[in-house]
Amino acid sequence: MGMRLVALCGAELWSVPAPEGLPLDGCVSFLSDGSVAFATGSWGDDANGGVVAVDAGTGAARWRFDVPRSEPTRSTRGIWAKPLVFNDTTVVVGDFGGRLWALDAATGRARWTFQEKRDATGLYGDEIWAPVAVTPRNEFVFTSNLGWIRKLDPASGAELVADAWPVAPSRRANDSASPLAGDPIVFSAPLVDAAGTVYVAAENWPDPAWVDFEYGNPGSFKKGLATLPRAIAAELGQPHDAAEVNGDARAKLGWRLTGVEKTATGYAAAFDTPDGAVAVTCRSLVSTAPAHALKGVFDDVLPGAKPLFEEIRKNIGRDAGVYHPPVCAVTVAYPKSAFKDVELPNGFGNLRDLPGFGSLNPRTEGVRTLGTLWSSSLFPGRCPPDYNVLLNYIGGSRDVGLADLDEAAIVDEVDKGCRAVLLADGAPPPKVLGVKLWPTAIPQYELGHLDIIRRLEDAEKTTPGLYVCGNYKSGVAFPDCVTFGYDHAKEVAAFLASK
Ligand SMILES: Cc1cc2nc3c(=O)[nH]c(=O)nc-3n(C[C@H](O)[C@H](O)[C@H](O)COP(=O)(O)OP(=O)(O)OC[C@H]3O[C@@H](n4cnc5c(N)ncnc54)[C@H](O)[C@@H]3O)c2cc1C
């Protein structure tokens, strides 16, 4: 049963069938002269995890080591890790029960073992996946799934406890400024440099206090979406509500980009700031301002960006660039008892509980509101239990006249729509929680848009380090904007890392 160990040199030199019950599905290491191969393998909870030593020239078996059944480990006896061959005398490898084995390289007999702590949570497992590394002072460094990083004495396997060693997973988690406060699990091999510095890649598990989130489901923050940019601004040194401006902050609030020029080493960006005009020079410049705010900004350095702001598309009646029509967001609340007392035909429940996501109003139905999100059904804690909160969007490219109405008139239109769709006769006036007119809301991907973006991207190729981005390029849905930002940041980082 199981896989074979095969020696190849263009053609097969030899192959060793897997020993009974020990599929060779792990890793292989060699003596320094290449004469002996040490292969690990195992599979499944009942597998005999172990190491086999074979003559690398002939494939003849030298010895076989099985993790003893008499010393049961918590999960399995499996071994997949790459063995460390130390001084050509000792083979060191961890098993899936959190135990490190030091074997005599000549005989396969165990010299010592070290038992890692047990995973009491059951979240991380007891396995040791990572190969062991050696420091310049001949100490073993090993890491476990549980997240410990330890040093051991090669001769005895005794733990070397000194200075800051061992490194506990919780210590690393707490030391980090990351909001991911869970224990960091370690799969990767430690790397030790000539100075003895140990590098380990750790995986951070989300804080168990975080709610589960499934992509595609609605998500929000208790204090709204502005939480995210505010957190970023604070992280970059300038909380949005700080009484004083921090001159050293990496985020500058209230700076408006007015122009960009090419310099010998990159770009110079001109800003209007609360303290007057400021120029910033940089190697790479990423604009994420909306297209409607960039007219003339890139004229000198990237004339190819002009279609974004100036393209005339007579066939669709567009006289300049990408169109951003106005939209108004109106948040209102009504008592549940004011809603129509009807059971929904889909079996979801009574309309008074608003069992769903929201409603869209086809233009043919004569309701001016475009659509309504049932905010208190989507997100917890938005209102008292006997109320429903509705977020209405009204306006858009087919109703630009809405932007000329005053707030009271807009709320009136929204209330009319709610009465037509959701409310029972005699419903009280709404509690108005918010009215926000966005005069240039969402860019419209109209006929010809993709061509404009293609020409922008062609132009960008001629200006390395200059990136013109935004929701007119990434897609308008917020998750698309964030995903685009993550991906694009890698491209910019690669540019900056290049010479
Ligand atoms: C009313 C409304 C409702 C929406 N609802 C949803 C929704 O329910 N779900 C969803 O997925 N998406 C929704 N969207 C779309 C989504 O929110 C946006 O597409 C997305 O937030 C745009 O991100 P962005 O970073 O490209 O632009 P923005 O978030 O608009 O950021 C652009 C930034 O550039 C700054 N800026 C402007 N001019 C300059 C300048 N000259 N110099 C420097 N900075 C400048 C602005 O101040 C702003 O901070 C909605 C949008 C609107 C308007």
Distance between CA atoms of residues 350 and 347, nearest Å: 9
Per residue in 469-490, pLDDT (tens digit) is: 999 999 999 889 999 998 999 9
* CB-CB contact of 206 with 123 (8 Å): no
The Å distance, Cα 282 to ligand 1 centre, comes to: 24
Q: Tell which wins on pLDDT, 419 or 162.
A: 419
Residue 185 in 3-state DSSP? strand
| Residue ID of nearest Cα to ligand 1 atom 47 | 289
What's the pLDDT score for residue 169? 72
| Alpha helices (runs of H) in 382-499, residue ranges in sequence order | 407-421, 449-460, 471-474, 478-497
Distance between CA atoms of residues 211 and 209, nearest Å: 6
Residue whose entry in the numeric block shows the structure tokens 């997949």: 80
Residue 74 predicted with pLDDT over 70: no
The Å distance, Cα 465 to ligand 1 centre, comes to: 23
Cis? peptide before 23, omega within 30° of 0 = no
**Nearest alpha carbon to residue 385 among 398, 397, 395, 376:** 376
Q: Binning pLDDT at 50, 70 and 90, where does residue 177 land?
A: very low
Burial class (CB in 10 A: 0-12, 13-18, 19+), 248: exposed
- Calculate the alpha carbon distances from 51 to 25, 69, 87, 339 in Å: 11, 15, 18, 71
Ligand 1 site: residues with CB under 6 angstroms? 256-257, 288-290, 293, 327, 329, 438, 441-442, 470-471, 476-478, 481
The Å distance, Cα 459 to ligand 1 centre, comes to: 24
The Å distance, Cα 405 to ligand 1 centre, comes to: 23
Distance between CA atoms of residues 91 and 129, nearest Å: 15
Which one of 255, 476, 483 would you pick to mutate in the ligand 1 pocket, going by the greatest count of ligand atoms within 8 A of its CB? Answer: 476
| Token pair recorded at residue 376 | 């208190």
Q: Tell which wins on pLDDT, 26 or 336.
A: 336
Per residue in 105-146, pLDDT (tens digit) is: 999 999 999 998 887 666 667 888 899 999 999 999 998 888
Q: Where are the beta strands (DSSP E) in 31-170?
A: 36-41, 50-55, 61-66, 84-86, 90-94, 99-104, 110-115, 133-134, 140-143, 149-152
* CB-CB contact of 148 with 168 (8 Å): yes
Percent helix, strand, coil in the chain, to 5, is 20, 30, 50
Ligand 1 atom closest to 328 (CA)? 1
Which one of 478, 482, 483 would you pick to mutate in the ligand 1 pocket, going by the greatest count of ligand atoms within 8 A of its CB? Answer: 478
The Å distance, Cα 108 to ligand 1 centre, comes to: 64
What's the pLDDT score for residue 8? 76
Per residue in 17-66, pLDDT (tens digit) is: 776 766 778 889 999 998 999 999 876 555 678 999 999 888 888 999 98
Quick one: average pLDDT of 249-257? 94
Ligand 1 atom closest to 480 (CA)? 11
**Nearest alpha carbon to residue 331 among 378, 379, 362, 373:** 373
What's the pLDDT score for residue 180? 42
Q: Tell which wins on pLDDT, 186 or 398.
A: 398
What phi, psi does 151 have (nearest 5°)? -115, 140
- Calculate the alpha carbon distances from 453 to 306, 308, 459 in Å: 11, 8, 10
Distance between CA atoms of residues 276 and 255, nearest Å: 9
* CB-CB contact of 220 with 382 (8 Å): no
* CB-CB contact of 444 with 397 (8 Å): yes
* CB-CB contact of 58 with 9 (8 Å): no
- Beta strands 466-468 and 285-287 are parallel
What's the pLDDT score for residue 265? 94
Residue 323 in 3-state DSSP? coil
Amino acid at 445: Y
Residues facing residue 40 across a β-bridge: 51
What's the pLDDT score for residue 205? 57
Q: Binning pLDDT at 50, 70 and 90, where does residue 148 land?
A: confident
Mean pLDDT over the full length of the chain: 88
Using the 8-state DSSP alphabet, how is residue 403 labeled?
G
Contacts of 45 by beta carbon, 8 Å cutoff, 6+ apart: 75, 76
| Residue ID of nearest Cα to ligand 1 atom 49 | 289
153's enclosing H/E stretch is: none
